[in-house]
Amino acid sequence: MATRKNSTDDPLAPLTLAVGQEDLLLDRAVQQVVAAARAADADTDVRDLASDQLQPGTLAELTSPSLFAERKVVIVRNAQDLAADTVKDVKAYLGAPAEEITLVLLHAGGAKGKALLDAARKAGAREVACPKTTKPAERLSFVRSEFRTHGRSATPEACQALVDSIGSDLRELASAVSQLIADVEGTIDEAVVGRYYTGRAEASSFTVADRAVEGRAAEALEALRWSLSTGVAPVLITSALAQGVRAIGKLSSARGGRPADLARELGMPPWKIDRVRQQMRGWTPDGVAVALRAVAAADAGVKGGGDDPEYALEKAVVAVARAARAGR
């Protein structure tokens, strides 16, 4: 049986600590350890436990020496919820981990269960970050990484279109990437994404924002109603509107130059510079200010400051579209 490496990058390290609340990344951290263990020993015994299944004494039973010296992976989910007596057992185990056993602790991070988190880190755990993706840029980075991992290329516009179409669920984004690379040969571009996800793209928050900042109020309202009817969260729409208007403001106040130079200055990809330039016609500095105030009011409305989030969004969309046409 293969011996365990000492590297903290080794999935077969005595302890792996997966920290965060992104379910897909947590599951992948577990899958990586299990795959490595089974590659070393096809007969690896895998025990996957919820926090309430790990009672005082259970870990000692699972990690006791085996007559056949079999490799074992013990997974503990929601480790931050472990009972105090069980936490004592885990801490004691961390001081003297068993041979041929990999313990995987999934911890949400934060204050709850922090003592266990600190103890695992002090014990030299191999740590895998699994943060919740809350920003569009993080989801875009995830999609790009998925294509790279599979050895496939996709244009920046295609990656953005996929995020716009699918939304914030990483599992759905990963599934969409898998479908595209299975069905399409060569580089995946925006047209390909459009053919596969046209219906969803029309319902995306970014479609609402794009139509609004282009001054196309009727189309923006149609996209808004479709988005809400298909379950897009109102807060995602206000976020997309804010990003769209801020991009107009940034580019309108930036020094002239090539897209690549502006991209570095403004923190936008070059392809987005080209898109925003097309959307800027008709915008004035006063219009940007008016639109930002309207979006801020809508954001407060959808987060509980008003009685009707849908009406708040409609008002914001109309205000942004009007501001986009103020200078025409």
Q: Is the pLDDT of residue 84 over 90?
A: yes
Confidence of residue 109 (pLDDT cuts 50, 70, 90): very high
Q: What is the mean pLDDT of residues 51-65?
A: 88
Q: Is the pLDDT of residue 40 over 60?
A: yes
Q: Average pLDDT, whole number, for the chain?
A: 85
Write the pLDDT tens digit of every residue in 273-315: 777 888 888 899 999 999 999 999 998 888 776 668 899 999 9
Q: Is the pLDDT of residue 96 over 70?
A: yes
Instruction: Please tell us whether the domain made up of 206-328 is placed in CATH 1.20.272.10.
Output: yes
14: its two tokens: 């005595």
Spell out the residues 6+ positions from residue 301 whose beta carbon is closer than 8 angstroms to its own: 308, 309, 311, 312, 313
Please give the helix or strand (H or E) that residue 75 lies within, else none: strand 72-76
Level-2 CATH architecture, domain 133-202: Orthogonal Bundle (1.10)
Q: Is the pLDDT of residue 97 over 80?
A: yes
Phi, psi dihedral angles at 125 (to 5 degrees):
-60, 145
Confidence of residue 72 (pLDDT cuts 50, 70, 90): very high
**Length of the chain counted residue by residue:** 328
CA–CA distance, 224 with 311 (Å, rounded to integer): 11
Q: Is the pLDDT of residue 2 over 60?
A: no
Q: Is the pLDDT of residue 74 over 80?
A: yes
Domain chopping of the chain, boundaries: 15-130, 133-202, 206-328
Write the DSSP assignment of 92-142 as a string of letters: HHHHSPPTTEEEEEEE--SSTTHHHHHHHHHTT-EEEEE----SHHHHHHH
Is the overall model pTM greater than 0.75, yes or no?
Answer: no
pLDDT for res 251:
84
pLDDT for res 259:
60
The domain made up of 15-130 has a fold known as Rossmann fold (3.40.50)
Q: Which residues pair with 75 in a beta bridge?
A: 48, 104
**Of 152 and 259, more confident:** 152
Q: Which of 291, 293, 275 has its CA nearest to residue 325?
A: 291
CA distances from 57 to 49, 92, 98, 307 (A): 14, 11, 15, 52
